[in-house]
Structure 1
Amino acid sequence: MKGKTSIVMLTYNELHLTKKCIDSIKRHTRSDQYELIIVDNASTDGTKEYVRELEDVIFIENEENQGFAKGCNQGVKKATGDSILFLNNDTMVTENWLSPLKEALFASDRIGMVGPVSNYVSGPQMVQPSYTDVKELPDFAKEYTAARKGQRTYVHRLVGFCLLVKRELIEDVGLFDERFVYGSFEDDDLCLRSLLKGYQLQIVHDSFVHHHGHATFRANQETNISTLFAENRLRFLDKWGIDLNLITPHPYFAALLPQEAKYVLDVGCGAGATGLELINRQSVDMYGVEDDALKAAIAKAYYQEVIEAKADEYPWSEKEAFFDAVIFSDVLEHVSDPWQIVAQAHASLKPGGVIICCLPNMMHAEVLLPLMTGDFTYQDVGLLDRTHMRFFTPKTMRELFPDHLFERVIEQHINVQIDQNVQLFFDEVARVGESLGFQTKALSDQVTQYQILIVARKKGGS
């Protein structure tokens, strides 16, 4: 574990919280492990006078509120540690909080930032605490972290309320982007820039930091949290065209991947959220295909290889009998020859390897009922996505995986319920069709099947 950590803390009023935070740091952190840098953004409640009297504190006083990003950047320029911890003043650290963070940060050259879990934070760093009073915090934190010693989770995003960063990352990636003004999304921006440089981010589950939440915003009566968040979100989208909060794994694929799968190709991998969930679950080497340049670059932080290409441009012949699984994440309906791609994927699988895919069902009532009235209007999203090139029914989906090559081991239906009268209509159509000798018995069920998940195993293995 490396040496000194520079703790950069911004203050803007809320002196009572700042005192609690500093007291918790002194109580739970060895003095030789850190230096404390406080940047005050023009407090008027006695904060400046209090901090001036503290020993061993590097203090920067701003005559005007410079905002979170600029204030943190001022602090970093004074830092001498080999790691920099951005810590909100409305937090309270707990016993043995810093050591696990530093152990995780320096466990690998590829890890660039880590963060603890907390009672008040967005995303997967949030845990449900059992305490209702901060007097109960020490006992909770000790028991919670002891039960999760050494547990880590790779993520695309960490929240800046308590964020430990390698100095070399700051030197490589740069400081916070000051366009995000008073706070929010400057941490998302730093995370994204870090991922694009190949750094990895981790949640450290055996470090717990209590967070009061939004205290600085509440202290600043001129700042509306909702307005600030909305404005900075627009700034982030204008800069990147992507929202880290919306990078989520496919909700079904991780559960369907065999536990023993080691080499996995994720076709249409996006930013790599599905692969990241798999990496956190089991020992797996992820490979990806993605035609969106930014998403492909993000995925590269965690995948062994990501080729920026369309699915039908992937060099399948270079990976003959290599993969244990191939995932098609909303892909096959977007290519001109899905049958050919499935055949190529078959050749790239080891015997016993699996293809996992999800396909939209054109028999769903959302498509079928309008079609019966002559309406087949493309949409921006959904079953009639205008970018779809091929359309499937349950029967034609199964035909993608011919019996001489595959055995279907799982078929799951993702149902979206329909209006009761629409259901009654199709029940009646199915009944009449059967009475006339047509094969319509399955219609009543198929009209609620929005998507179908298929796991098909290559023949020749167990």
Structure 2
Amino acid sequence: MKTSIIILTFNQLHYTKLCIDSIRKYTEKDTYEIIVVDNHSTDETVQWLKNQEDIKTILNKENLGFPKGCNQGIKIAQGDNILLLNNDVIVTPNWLSNLNKCLYSSDDIGAVGAVTNYCSNYQTIKGAYKNTEEMIDFAKKNNLSNKDEWEERLKLIGFCMLIKKNVLEKVGTLDEIFSPGNFEDDDYSFRIRKAGYKLMLCKDVFIYHFGSISFNENRNKFSEIFTVNKKKFEEKWGFSTSYYSDIQVDLINLIDHFQFEKINVLEIGCGFGSTLLQIKNVYKNAGLYGIELNKKTLEITRAFADIQCIDIEKEDPPYAEEFFDYILLGNTLEHLYDPLNVLKNIRKYLKKEGKILMSISNVIHYNIIRNLLNGDWRPVHHFLKTPIRFFTINEIDTMLKTAKYSIEIVTGKITQQHEDDKQFINSLNQIIGKDMTSQYKYCEYYIKSKKFESASGENTEIKFLLRRIENDILVEESITCLIEMLHKCKLDLYTIMKLIDVAIIKKEKVFNQLAAQLYKKSMYEYANVLLAKSYEMNPQHMETQKLLKCMEGEHPC
């Protein structure tokens, strides 16, 4: 199998040499061809390319831009795959073989991408290195092929995108309306997904990216091109990729289920489902549901989630009551005319232990107050372009209590403060006569809340069953009942563990008995979690040690 690596150049010979030298060094021979399309370089690039016997070249007499140049390279490519690669990267050991392993792991995967040090779209990972040699050492450790490090994505950044040739033949080449560059990779990603293929991000492939070398020389021109192509993209697709593609990572981090458990998640205002898809990457057994007003996004989202195009303020969603473990409202409440009524109405769709996860911009962030005092309204958070409602944490708390929720966790995003910011906050505190720093510092809140009655009802029954197990009363019957509740997703492991901690004295005994029965029912992941908790509490417990040996195959069960 051969990969056609297509690289565009425009001056910057130093970076081109680093890129191509790294390809030669870290890519298996006879598995690739290099095609360089030069967009009328005026330095020594053209002469250097002419002296490279292993490179196919196309030398343009004018700068045609990135999409047109790539399409030229694609036309002469003879490989089974097409790899679009920026010239300002250094590839690393195992990079191409790992990308290919993911690309051909499934027929429905159309393209894959790598992670790097400099990139948007959550494709960046941090690494501790000070020079190229240390970076290569970092990459060697990272680039160990591992399918658990593959994530499905809605789009991939085009600095390194590997595409199956047959997918490209079906989807077509890059759209040249985006020349000289910007948004052509967004457009191509959505075209691939619209054709029914998945996009995968390979976190087991790290390559180094210097970043935006071609555009750095003229930032004003870059800004103009970005604005023009952003408008072209929105006219073509009917939505803004920047508005709809944000992954609400901080809300995902508030989910407290174990990754192997079955959960149902609804996101209201889901865009084209970036957050839902990332939840699926982490929680493989999650059922994904979404509500979105913009119909244009549905052709992208419906491939992996059940999306309803309804107005949540005017229509009741078609879900069974007590169906969802989590309902997400990511920067949604600010755009509702009656957010309190929506919170009241969706409450019935939450399970008894279900949670509302929301992100809400803070209207009294110090930068907003300062801008208002200067006669300007500039929201800190980019989602607040057309807000209808504004919130402080006190107003959020009051609204949730009125809708019969209680706040479990409040975190938030804090902007970096300089000395003049701290002085301004101190001045505000002096004016109002109390310390409000904790509220001024957050530009956005992340909140987890639950129903008021979550602690009663079903929890009482679970505590009763756990206490019967603890006291050797109808143990088998009680465990069977709990396991049945787990199977039917009426109960989750996190809740069981939390209740054992609160209500049970002989904790190790109950953990071990449950673990043993779950193991017999082939619910190994559940059993391992409970047994690990028991071992953590008391490593010397005889029954725990016996069960551990049993599960490791060293002792008959």
Find out whether 1:234 has 2:232 as its counterpart: no
Paired residues for 1:83-162 under 5 Å: 83-146=81-144, 150-162=148-160
> How far did residue 410 of structure 1 move?
0.6
User: 1:331-385: per-residue Cα shift (whole Å, max 9, x none)?
Assistant: 45655665664454333333422233456789999999xxxxxxxxx99999996
SS in 1 for 2:122: helix
Find out whether 1:26 has 2:24 as its counterpart: yes
> How far did residue 266 of structure 1 move?
0.4
User: 1:423-443: per-residue Cα shift (whole Å, max 9, x none)?
Assistant: 456558xxxxxxxxxxxxx99
> How far did residue 249 of structure 1 move?
3.1
Match for 1:231: what amino acid? E
Paired residues for 1:242-281 under 5 Å: 244-245=241-242, 247-250=245-248, 252-260=250-258, 262-281=263-282
Identity of aligned residues (%): 33
Kept after mapping to 1: 8 A contact 2:368/2:379: no
Question: Distance in 1 between the 2:18 and 2:441 partners?
Answer: 56
Which protein is richer in strand relative to its size? 1
Partner of 2:449: 455
Name the Cα RMSD after superposition: 4.2
Kept after mapping to 2: 8 A contact 1:426/1:444: no
Residue among 181, 184, 199 paired with 1:183: 181
Kept after mapping to 2: 8 A contact 1:83/1:165: yes
Q: Which consecutive residues of structure 2, in runs of 5 or more, have no partner in the other structure?
A: 370-376, 415-421, 460-494, 496-557
> How far did residue 75 of structure 1 move?
0.8
CA shift in 2, pair 1:86/1:452, >3 Å: closer
Partner of 2:293: 291
Match for 2:60: what amino acid? N
Question: Distance in 1 between the 2:213 and 2:386 partners?
Answer: 44
Question: Distance in 2 between the 1:23 and 1:291 partners?
Answer: 49
Question: Distance in 1 between the 2:389 and 2:23 partners?
Answer: 56
Q: Which consecutive residues of structure 1, in runs of 5 or more, have no partner in the other structure?
A: 219-223, 369-377, 429-441
Match for 1:397: what amino acid? M
Partner of 1:356: 357
Aligned residues: 429
User: 1:318-340: per-residue Cα shift (whole Å, max 9, x none)?
Assistant: 43333221123344565566566
CA shift in 2, pair 1:88/1:321, >3 Å: same
Question: Distance in 1 between the 2:306 and 2:378 partners?
Answer: 33
Question: Distance in 2 between the 1:384 and 1:174 partners?
Answer: 35
> How far did residue 310 of structure 1 move?
1.6
SS in 2 for 1:31: coil
Match for 1:254: what amino acid? I
> How far did residue 70 of structure 1 move?
0.7
Question: Distance in 2 between the 1:455 and 1:268 partners?
Answer: 18
CA shift in 2, pair 1:142/1:349, >3 Å: same
Paired residues for 1:322-361 under 5 Å: 322-332=323-333, 334-335=335-336, 341-358=342-359
Provide TM-score, normalisation by structure 2: 0.64
Kept after mapping to 1: 8 A contact 2:325/2:351: yes
> How far did residue 257 of structure 1 move?
1.9
Question: Distance in 2 between the 1:335 and 1:274 partners?
Answer: 20
SS in 1 for 2:30: helix
Question: Distance in 2 between the 1:415 and 1:22 partners?
Answer: 41
Kept after mapping to 2: 8 A contact 1:36/1:57: yes
SS in 2 for 1:319: coil
| Larger relative contact order (Cα-Cα within 8 Å, sequence gap ≥ 6) | 1
Kept after mapping to 1: 8 A contact 2:292/2:309: yes
Paired residues for 1:393-408 under 5 Å: 393-394=395-396, 396-402=398-404, 408=406
Match for 2:187: what amino acid? D
> How far did residue 250 of structure 1 move?
3.5
Kept after mapping to 2: 8 A contact 1:97/1:209: yes
Match for 1:270: what amino acid? G
CA shift in 2, pair 1:400/1:193, >3 Å: farther
> How far did residue 76 of structure 1 move?
0.9
Moved more, 326-335 or 158-167: 326-335
CA shift in 2, pair 1:274/1:427, >3 Å: farther
Kept after mapping to 1: 8 A contact 2:34/2:56: yes
Kept after mapping to 2: 8 A contact 1:413/1:452: yes
Find out whether 1:410 has 2:408 as its counterpart: yes
Structure 1: 4+ residue segments shifted above 6 A:
360-368, 378-385, 389-392, 415-418, 442-450
> How far did residue 86 of structure 1 move?
0.8
Question: Distance in 1 between the 2:104 and 2:411 partners?
Answer: 44
SS in 2 for 1:256: coil
Find out whether 1:81 has 2:79 as its counterpart: yes
Partner of 1:374: none
Kept after mapping to 1: 8 A contact 2:114/2:160: yes
Kept after mapping to 1: 8 A contact 2:67/2:175: yes
Provide TM-score, normalisation by structure 1: 0.75
Match for 2:265: what amino acid? V
> How far did residue 140 of structure 1 move?
3.1
> How far did residue 280 of structure 1 move?
3.4
Partner of 2:35: 37
